[in-house]
Structure 1
């Protein structure tokens, strides 16, 4: 039976259209979490509502963060916001980020010139050999290129959390010059950056060193090290070097220590991207921003307020790269197309345990102009124990609860919208379960397609349950389709999946840890989230190395102490004589790692051609992507697992260089062949894009001109990769001559 919450709570709510938005359609539309915030704030006794995104302004006043979209005719909206003390951050067209005084949120939701208000939805991070697999080592050496490319003159921005400002990897390769130019800690108080009203900016290296870290975690350090770390302190100061190791770096810390309750959300990220691009503009340099975080809520069709703001920020020389997500092996998605004879879908919901118990969100999206309804039931041994009854698109918030057979409760808050910011209908649920019974989610309609996902984020950690059939013929299993995050669905983002560049490593305790039972080397990693987007665009765009990737970790993270839970992942310890402190390199896995690998490669591309746009960058990455036995034959448009294949740093930088008009004359003389990794241990591979069936004669000469090896390479039309074994030869420099019907190219090849 459907049961309403106490009449006292309902009576306490304003009746001005905040919860029944049809009552006054000139007021802003509110996101589901915004509507639930207003309800929770009524009965809240502390100065904040748990699991929402807060900042402190420069005067240490508590504010909520969010994104708004203005109406075409916004009238006096700006003046009304200023009267409430609302601070404006980034203005990306009609999409603005805002800081709202915590005591003024209800009044803010009544400003008529605003079209849509979205309080920030909590987000979570998407958690050596990589350079060789992507052929970046050859780029760093400048083999067959105009010069070595190392990220020099390019800004690499990292929007993340858990930075160790003192780690040697953020110095140059001589451990002498500090490369971090600016830091903005959004969740601490101090001096905000120009144009923003919150957080603390540091532009002096001494201040960064004194501060040490933003929060004592490690994610941002590892991500930054992959994208642009120098590798100081690793073997030969090279082994764990990042991709753009001579770039300038800018860090934006988006969340505080785990012990604090302030979360992070999309407006913080938009402000961080804008901040980094502004710095790069001031320095007259190109920039790439990496974001290895994702939001589990949203339509995943590129229309969210984040996506709209991002499109207004990126441009020529300003590129954004993000991780696809780590839900590729989680059945968190269901798609249902209703017809006149097939009108319902039913699924069991397995709710993941979190620090606040069994709590989850269900986010349902339909098609423009269509309608649907949803309900939640308790099920036990073939019997319906209790049900909310169907809730349809009435533009209201429904606070319901169900009683289970254990006499405990499942709370169901359901927010409906007949037309969201993208004109699509939506039903959002927040479910908190203390019952012993199975939970069933139903939806019904007569036409149109709906998609829904389950997820929950608490204090920046994601908790994902599953949709299950449990052997019932009337129920539907969830699937792993469209498991990319909403941020990753942005059309102007370069979205990165993850493959396994290596599957094992030896740690500091001399123990070998292996993932061979989980994934084969060189294959896509099962956790890598799948596309496509709801509007059928291919995502991810491309795949990068994302399993057991070695990089710097924070010296302030106690989990990496010898007694800590993460010390097993440490692969190198280095004592920095500058401060007599120990620093570690360790392996981590996730699309959080594959994204900065590609960000670093994009920085190399921007060094070769600073005028690249997001579209031209994608085109080059797609055209040069590696396709092999693991990717299989990919269609021209790519697929929803690999995108367009594995990222190819050498091919991408070479093509970026060739498209730069300043170097076109030199580029025309470049060899059509690529040999990698070069230098290498003798196990090389040759790449060549053939126009048809061809036979290439290969001859290798030593430094004295003596012929030491020959081979014949038969190619087919398209990209060809030829394994070329020179391990029988001594270390040294060789010249590999390739003769294709009289057209000869010679490649300098180094065995070390």
Structure 2
């Protein structure tokens, strides 16, 4: 066995960062960011032609053509003595740095790919490479009870999302599709669209890249977003149709068909995503409308799975300002790509076989990306063993200890005669984001038949490991198995702890997926089983994810008429001389917009809801059934709190309304007295017909119900103190009243 270790990655970084430092305090930069910057630096060294560099780099790194040059996306945190104005002044003096949005001390920016040495000169205390984003790929309205909300069943009125903006960050928008018109197919409901790839301009106010359209004429002139690394996609059109499609007159409407849209064609990295979030928030505030943003994509590389990244902090800050974020939970539920072990002694070592994604299955398939996290203040070691088909060890890597970080290197090993194994390592003794020890190891074995075994050791503490596919010119967001390989004492993998950014943020409502529930010809509700791909939680720090589940299997929605991919078309509609099509797709990409649409219904019912209240209502009104089984009171890491239930969520939103004169409480025929009450109250109102009254808690759950003639007496002496909602049905009239129970 021959081992040759190279430190050229570090030396490249030293070369990049060796010129004129202006700041006494250099920013903290994670080793995975330094590793990626090293790779970008190697490509700029090979390709002096900027276009050639762009072509080779944009698949693997957050590189985009902005202001007539290749730029790299980053996110930074301002130092304590640096304000937003100071940051903008600094970038003005350094035109190689293109500032994006800056909110609550978190700034997005792009750096000329040929001036990466400026990273160490930035007046920031922390810098992270912007992770690349990848997509997470008629019965759903019944299963979520949205059909009942549209009909106003057991509600004071019908709700369709009117007056609410749904933001969609994605790729593949067809601005001309009738699914994004109103239900009469007269006017577009697209409030604005920002194509971050189209560089002809005009850019949105405050930004210097992309093209924005905010009038129907401009939208129709653009037609669609432009081709990008995902070519002419249709993902965004399908996602948006689920959230709020008009249905085009053929019954395929989305969850909130009266809501308006904000579309942003994402430049495939999180720096551009933060810019898009801010643009959407600015428009919503200008229109004085509530905003819910759907994210049907994930960030599988360079991030932290516990919600501590700078992007997570940015999202949480925007949530505090009233923006509701909904995100797909991911599609790794069918992969045993994780294991963890609680170590109790230095002699305790675990082994697990690393499965490799077949090179023939993807043109950019390269190898596997192994990431390991320990507990704050702890340390652990790891290494690789190489074994033949009988699991006899034929070679081994160097042992890597997290306490030796920060460091990174690359190594080439020859084992078993002529099998070449390559791997690179990034090590943090305490990651800048969360203080946890961290090791990332990317391993390539080509067509070798050698088995790769991961070994992990620690004196104490819990260590987690994940196995993701790594692509040479793209980002793989799918897990691949760990297994015990039938070897005594080896550790198998499991599907848990799979949540990635942005779903792992504290304030993001993360959505799992199940098949649609529907009523068969016998009147029985069937379906609704867990989608095989729905990612399991929790987050690395143990928080519950997903928050709840929604339909995400074979969801029928709109296709972009500009796409260049083929799909099995299920429906067509003619509009303005063009044939527009629909198809069924599956993924948590589809379940997330279903809940975003439900949020729009809730915000129409009660525009004063905070994002925290929206999340709490969705969790508290999620339902259990035979498929979920009885869930723990604190939820579980597969279903969250259960299945999204729009009727109860909207009812609970109304119950929290602080505006008694809102439309939901107008035209009252009934009254209750005394209110507050300590033991009983009377319902007064028309007595020609019997009424059905139902007493509900603020989560929309029934406490008591009966048929009576008004006036009638209701005994609440045994009910807990607090606020309740009284729903009264009188013929076709439904009315909601508030009631307070006291001592």
Range of TM-score over shorter length: 0.7 to 0.9
Does 2:241 match 1:231? no
Q: Which of 48, 55, 60 is 1:51 aligned to?
A: 60
Return closer, same or farther for 1:233/1:557 CA change in 2, 3 Å cut-off: farther
Q: Equivalent residue for 1:688?
A: none
Residue in structure 2 matching 1:61, options 58, 69, 91: 69
Calculate the TM-score normalised by the size of structure 2: 0.82
Deviation at 1:666, TM superposition (A): 8.0
Does the C-alpha gap of structure 1 residues 573 and 357 become closer, same or farther in structure 2, counting only changes over 3 Å?
same
Q: Are the structure 2 counterparts of residues 666 and 268 from structure 1 closer, same or farther at C-alpha, using a change threshold of 3 Å?
A: closer
Q: Is the 8 A contact 1:144 1:670 kept in 2?
A: no
Structure 2 residues without counterparts, runs of 5 or longer: 48-52, 521-525, 669-688, 715-726, 734-743
Find the counterpart in structure 1 of residue 392 from structure 2. Answer: 383
1:65: how far off? 0.6
Where in structure 1 are there 5+ consecutive unaligned residues?
A: 256-263, 506-519, 672-704, 722-735
1:724 paired residue number: none
Comparing 162-171 and 659-668, the one that deviates more: 659-668
Aligned twin of 2:155: 145
Give the equivalent residue in structure 2 for 1:572.
571
Give the deviation of 1:602 after TM superposition.
Answer: 0.3
Conserved 8 A contact 1:457-1:463? no
Deviations 1:515-568, CA, capped at 9 Å, x for gaps = xxxxx8212212111111222221111111111111111122243xxxx3x22x
Distance 1:411 1:542 in 2: 41
Alpha carbons of 1:600 and 1:86: their partners in 2 closer, same or farther (altered >3 Å)? Answer: same
Partner Cα separation in structure 2 for residue 666 and residue 553 of structure 1: 36
User: Contact conserved, 2:139 with 2:518, CA < 8 A, in 1?
Assistant: no
Structure 1 residue 476: Cα displacement: 1.1
Aligned residues: 659
Alignment of 1:697-708 (within 5 A): none
After TM superposition, give the deviation of residue 664 of structure 1 in Å.
Answer: 7.1
Q: Take 2:198 and 2:662, find their aligned partners in 1: how far apart are those partners?
A: 51
Partner Cα separation in structure 2 for residue 461 and residue 504 of structure 1: 38
- What residue is the counterpart of 1:88 in the other structure? 99
Matched, 1:480 2:499: no
In the alignment, the residues of structure 2 paired with residue 166 and residue 183 of structure 1 have an alpha-carbon distance, to the nearest angstrom, of: 12
**3-state SS of paired residue (1:409):** strand
How many angstroms apart in 2 are the aligned matches of 1:169 and 1:646?
A: 26
Please list the CA deviations of residues 335-393 of structure 1 after superposition, one character each: whole Å capped at 9, or x if unmatched.
Answer: 12111155322111112133223322222111111111221232113332222211123
Q: TM-score, normalised by structure 1?
A: 0.81
Name the stretch that deviates more: 496-505 or 625-634. 496-505
User: What secondary structure sits across from 2:527 in the alignment?
Assistant: coil
Work out whether 1:631 is the aligned partner of 2:628.
yes
Q: Which moved more, 1:290-299 or 1:661-670?
A: 661-670
Tell me how far apart the structure 2 counterparts of residues 593 and 304 of structure 1 sit (CA, whole Å): 25
1:345, 1:475 within 8 Å by CA — same for their partners in 2?
yes
Equivalent residue, structure 2, for 1:313: 318
Distance 1:460 1:379 in 2: 28
Maintained 8 Å contact 1:307/1:490: yes
Give runs of aligned pairs for residues 280-429 of structure 1, distance below 5 A.
Answer: 280-297=284-301, 298-315=303-320, 317-340=322-345, 343-353=348-358, 354-380=362-388, 381-393=390-402, 394=404, 395-405=406-416, 407-420=418-431, 421-429=433-441
| Shift, 1:481, TM fit | 0.8
1:371–1:173 CA distance, 2 compared to 1 (3 A): same
| Residue of structure 2 equivalent to 1:686 | none
Contact 2:442 2:470 in 1 (8 A): no
**Matched residues in 2 for 1:640 and 1:180: separation?**
36
SS in 2 for 1:320: strand
List per-residue Cα deviations over 1:666-687 (Å, max 9, x = no partner): 868999xxxxxxxxxxxxxxxx
Report deviation, 1:114: 2.4
* Structure 2 partner of 1:653: 650
Alignment of 1:576-615 (within 5 A): 576=575, 578=576, 580-615=577-612
Residues 68-122 of structure 1, C-alpha deviations (whole Å, 9 max, x = no match): 12333459766554443212212132321111111111x2221264232221222
Distance 1:451 1:118 in 2: 22
Q: Where in structure 2 are the equivalents of 1:105-116 lying within 5 Å?
A: 105=116, 107-111=117-121, 113-116=123-126
Matching residue of 1:201: 212
Match of 1:272 in 2: 276
